[in-house]
């Protein structure tokens, strides 16, 4: 039993010494300097490749608008939120409402909309996100930014 114990201790001491000698060779000053040179080369600042592209190149996310004309294409709506909301609400004509699972649903064409659902609507060439804030048996309420409007379900 003692000889097995001594054999394990000797084997452990020899393997620890071998690992220590192996570690010194791997992290020597030459290898360390090569690693530092590689890291500094990889982290060095480079020129932005986008600056070398032609200015009239089409934007891949909006191919209809050319590169420099993006600044000129930005328009601002002339109407207030209330006017836009009234115009959008007048175009919506829900066919009714129903209660499903204890929650009211607004029937708008094939869609069944809940309170809190967002609707994307266009008005005067701009897209607006309108939120349904309330659904009642005879009316529903819409919000655009901080403006709200109530409309009847049936005309």
Tell me the pLDDT tens digit for each residue of 111-137. Answer: 888 998 888 888 888 888 889 999 998
Mean pLDDT of 42-46: 87
3-state secondary structure of 104: strand
Within-domain flag for 70: no
- Count of structural domains, the chain: 2
- pLDDT grade for 65, boundaries at 50, 70 and 90: low
Mean pLDDT of 8-16: 78
Within-domain flag for 74: no
Within-domain flag for 57: no
In a shared domain, residues 86 and 140: yes
Within-domain flag for 73: no
User: 22-43, pLDDT tens digit by residue?
Assistant: 555 556 788 889 999 999 999 8
| Residue, of 55 and 88, whose pLDDT is higher | 88
Give the residue numbers spanning the domain of 8. Answer: 2-43
Strands (E) across the chain are located at 58-59, 62-66, 96-100, 103-108, 111-113, 118-123, 126-135, 139-144, 147-152
- pLDDT grade for 69, boundaries at 50, 70 and 90: very low
């Amino acid at each position: 039993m003692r000889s097995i114990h001594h054999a394990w201790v000797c084997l452990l001491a020899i393997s620890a010494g071998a690992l220590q000698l192996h570690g010194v060779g791997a992290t020597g000053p030459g290898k360390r300097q090569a690693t530092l040179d590689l890291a500094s080369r990889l982290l060095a600042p480079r020129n932005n490749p986008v600056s070398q592209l032609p200015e009239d190149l089409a934007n891949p996310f909006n191919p209809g608008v050319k590169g420099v004309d993006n600044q000129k294409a930005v328009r601002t709506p002339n109407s207030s939120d209330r006017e836009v909301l009234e115009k959008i609400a007048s175009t919506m004509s829900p066919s009714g409402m129903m209660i499903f699972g204890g929650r009211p649903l607004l029937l708008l064409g094939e869609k069944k909309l809940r309170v809190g659902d967002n609707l994307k609507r266009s008005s005067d060439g701009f897209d607006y996100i309108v939120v349904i804030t309330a659904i009642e048996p005879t009316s529903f309420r819409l919000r655009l930014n901080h403006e709200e409007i109530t409309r009847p379900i049936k005309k």
